[in-house]
């Protein structure tokens, strides 16, 4: 068949690969909201407000963040972007580490994980009530993960957090952070995660330590996971056309060798 045989094989292979790419979409990986950009995709600035109506998109899920300071179950206070290593300007920062008694400085080896920005409550070191992570998703959300930074303290003056996933007002699962009564997590993240839940519509984080002042929340690297298997455009089974093309390509290559 010579050049013509090669051309035919190449053209059919191209068509097959195109159909294969349509039939089997490429695998996508979870998107992380790391606060390196605003909800609109711009570059944040230190202490910039994260509004209650600022929606961050990740894996088809629209996520907003806020604080319930009145205890009525709904967010009423905004968060802020905090710049890593930004110092303590006007009393505001995310956390204070033992690394040179500096503010918002990650422990050695954790700098890239903290990144340039993270989320904190509006008024640093003030009791923040409950931190709300609110979802708006077309399909069920069955898993989630995130980080709370710098959970430290000392005996009698501890830090600890309770993280609860909800479906509406129904609690689905809860995770309690390690008790911060030493410097083990000083300048480091503690990661939490939920898997195989029915449908997460929100997540709440509350402070449960013994501290009564100097209470801060440094939050980063949040990943909402949508159950794409429930979507109407889920990956289909191989079509009869693809099976036919496989047989046709095999026949052409067999004749080309004859």
Tens of pLDDT, residue by residue, the chain (258 residues): 544 444 544 455 454 444 444 444 444 456 899 999 999 999 999 999 999 999 999 988 999 999 999 999 999 999 999 999 866 665 677 787 765 467 888 989 999 999 999 999 998 888 999 999 999 999 999 999 999 999 998 889 999 999 999 999 999 999 999 999 998 999 999 999 999 999 999 999 999 999 998 898 999 999 998 765 554 333 444 444 444 445 555 555 555 555
129-160 in b/e form (b: 16+ CB < 10 A) is bbbbbbbebebbbbbbbbbbbbbbbeeeebbb
Residue identified by tokens 């047989």 is: 247
Taking alpha carbons only, the member of 114, 123, 200 closest to residue 150 is 114
In this prediction, residue 75 carries a pLDDT of: 97
One DSSP character per residue, 175-192 reads EEPPPBSSSTTTT-EEEE
8-state DSSP, 230: G
pTM flag (> 0.85): no
């Amino acid at each position: 068949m010579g050049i013509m045989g090669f051309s035919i094989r190449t053209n059919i292979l191209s068509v097959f690969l195109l159909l294969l790419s349509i039939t089997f979409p490429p695998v996508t990986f979870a998107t992380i909201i790391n606060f390196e950009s605003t909800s609109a995709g711009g570059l944040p600035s230190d202490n910039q407000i994260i509004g209650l109506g600022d929606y961050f998109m990740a894996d088809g899920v629209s996520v907003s963040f806020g604080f319930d300071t009145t205890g009525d179950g709904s967010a009423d206070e905004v968060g802020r972007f905090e710049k890593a290593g930004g110092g303590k300007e006007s009393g505001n920062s995310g956390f204070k580490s033992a690394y040179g008694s500096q503010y918002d400085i990650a422990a050695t080896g954790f700098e890239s994980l903290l990144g340039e920005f993270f989320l904190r409550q509006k008024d640093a070191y003030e009791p923040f009530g409950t931190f709300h992570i609110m979802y708006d998703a077309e399909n069920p959300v069955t898993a989630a993960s995130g980080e709370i930074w710098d959970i430290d303290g000392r005996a009698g003056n501890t830090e600890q957090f309770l993280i609860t996933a909800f479906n509406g007002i129904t609690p689905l699962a809860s995770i309690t952070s390690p008790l911060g009564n030493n410097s083990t997590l000083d300048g480091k993240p503690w990661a939490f995660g939920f898997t195989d839940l029915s449908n997460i519509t929100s997540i709440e984080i509350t402070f449960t330590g013994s501290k009564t002042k100097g209470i801060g929340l440094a939050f980063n690297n949040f990943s909402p996971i949508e159950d794409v298997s429930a979507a109407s455009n889920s990956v289909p089974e191989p079509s009869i056309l693809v099976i036919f093309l496989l047989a046709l390509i095999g026949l052409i290559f067999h004749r080309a060798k004859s």
